[in-house]
Structure 1
Amino acid sequence: MNIPASGWRTGADRNAQAGALFDEGLRQHMLRVYNYMGLGLVLTGLVAYIVGNTPALYVPIFSSPLKWVVMLAPLAFVLVFSFKIQTMSAATAQAAFWGFCAVMGLSMASIFLVFTGASIANTFFIAASMFGATSLYGYTTKRDLTQMGSFLIMGLIGVVIASVANIFIGSSALQFAVSVIGIIVFVGLTAWDTQNIKEQYAEHFSDESRQKMAVFGAFSLFLNFVNIFQLLLNFTGERE
């Protein structure tokens, strides 16, 4: 049976239109992810700056056992997001994300007590450049990064264990090794997470699901960026 050329063109036009709609939806989704992440960083930075430069706030926190609560509170949010994101509503996920960003700002306020403002700003821009380049790679690459992800997760576990051990050991050599390996791990995770966020997007998902996906994607990338920044600060930061 012969199919008229116009039929082929109609089918091709429909496929092209569907592809264009999908690409636009994906672009809007990724833009939402980066917007959440960017606003989260602004909130974290503001809280850290205000607390770190206000003695009435940082003295009661960092001169008492309360500092351990502040330092460990972000971990509680990480656990909540990891195990409860599927059962959260989109509104609850957003509220938890903003709360996490604020608490992270509290825990990071101490950097303003240790490092100069200029070195903090310089490190931030270096970290932003590294993050931007690797996230762009993760978004545009045709290479499947799935296998790389499993090695990165193992590396992350090793970095966490070594960091905890070094709290008691206090080895500068171990701290240096943790910082170097940690930067490599989180740079790799940035590319891996970006590709996952892109591939998990599906046009048929409900607005509620897309909203939660965007929040969780922003949360993942936010963690990568903050860790890159903090580890870089060990190398580039000038102490007060």
Structure 2
Amino acid sequence: MANYQTANTSTTGALGARIDAGLRAHMNKVYGTMSVGMLITALGAWAIAGLAVTGDMNAAATNAEGMVMAVRDGEFLTSFGALIYTTPLRWVVMFAPLIFLFFGFGALMTRASAAAVQVGFFAFAAMIGVSLSSIFLVYTDFSIVQTFLVTAIAFAGLSLYGYTTKRDLSGMGTFLVMGVIGLLFAMFINIFLQSPAMTFAISGIGVLLFAGLTAYDTQSIKSTYVAHAAQGDQEWMDKAAISGALSLYLDFLNMFQFLLYFMGNRE
């Protein structure tokens, strides 16, 4: 009996060590994939915004009345910028990432390989970059970088808390998801009301909700890995890492956008 207990303890300890090592590698992949996606988004947004403005007034785009379409002093929309920001194409740019997220990514997760899912995630990040490029036409570059750094620091702290805390955060999930649904409804209503007070409240609530989701999603990614690690399905693990990266990517991106309302300097 003593020998059996000793062998059982040894086996359990070896399995636990293997799961711990696998978890660290899994989380590194999650954060690495998310970081690459965020870099693609940032570069895409910056590049598109740069292509959309020019300091040459003679090359600037004009509206239907022939007036030059200025962005700020010394910078004007190019024909490319006018195509993106002032034509129906802007709705394609705005909604294409959402359509892919709700309809395309799920199909990839169930039918495609892990490599294809990763390519899909990076393509989604590029689409988000195009969609976000307009912030460079509204806010100063310095305030965008400043807000990004503040978001990065807050995200790192919240994600670390979600990873290390012994407190079960699963009970927050339903509350946070319902909060996001309510927030989307309020944002839709405010499209028609255009209320500054409501915009301020939406931004504040949005920051809090996605701060909570950052900690919740981090713990959920960790718990999901631990629950399935013993099965040894590497393909599933690789897809789970990309799915986790997408969740944290969206948390970071939304927190950044809501913080930008408070910290961004409009030009």
TM-score normalized with structure 1 length? 0.94
Q: Quick check: which has more Rg, 1 or 2?
A: 2
Measure the CA separation in 2 of the matches of 1:81 and 1:198: 25
Report 1:219-238 matches (<5 A). 219-238=246-265
Q: 1:178-211: CA deviations, max 9, x gaps?
A: 1011111111111111111111112224221111
Equivalence for 2:243: 216
- How many residue pairs get matched? 237
Query: Percent same amino acid at aligned positions?
Result: 45
Equivalence for 1:77: 100
Equivalence for 1:48: 45
Measure the CA separation in 2 of the matches of 1:3 and 1:23: 27
Query: Are positions 1:157 and 2:181 aligned together?
Result: yes
Measure the CA separation in 2 of the matches of 1:114 and 1:138: 34
Equivalence for 1:107: 131
Equivalence for 2:86: 63
Give the conservation status (yes or no) of the 8 Å contact 2:105–2:117. Answer: no
Task: After TM superposition, give the deviation of residue 11 of structure 1 in Å.
Answer: 3.7
Give the conservation status (yes or no) of the 8 Å contact 1:159–1:182. Answer: yes
After superposition, the CA RMSD in angstroms is 1.5
Give the conservation status (yes or no) of the 8 Å contact 1:77–1:96. Answer: no
Measure the CA separation in 2 of the matches of 1:81 and 1:194: 23
One-letter amino acid of the counterpart of residue 261, structure 2: N
One-letter amino acid of the counterpart of residue 82, structure 2: V
Measure the CA separation in 2 of the matches of 1:194 and 1:117: 30
1:38 to 35, 39, 55: 35
Task: After TM superposition, give the deviation of residue 54 of structure 1 in Å.
Answer: 1.3
Stretch of structure 1 that moved more, 148-157 or 86-95: 86-95
Measure the CA separation in 1 of the matches of 2:147 and 2:119: 29
Measure the CA separation in 2 of the matches of 1:183 and 1:127: 10
Measure the CA separation in 2 of the matches of 1:86 and 1:141: 31
Measure the CA separation in 1 of the matches of 2:180 and 2:232: 31
Q: Return closer, same or farther for 1:205/1:77 CA change in 2, 3 Å cut-off.
A: farther
What residue ranges of structure 2 are gaps of 5+ in the alignment? 53-77
Measure the CA separation in 2 of the matches of 1:66 and 1:128: 31
Measure the CA separation in 2 of the matches of 1:180 and 1:63: 29
Measure the CA separation in 2 of the matches of 1:168 and 1:187: 27
One-letter amino acid of the counterpart of residue 23, structure 1: D
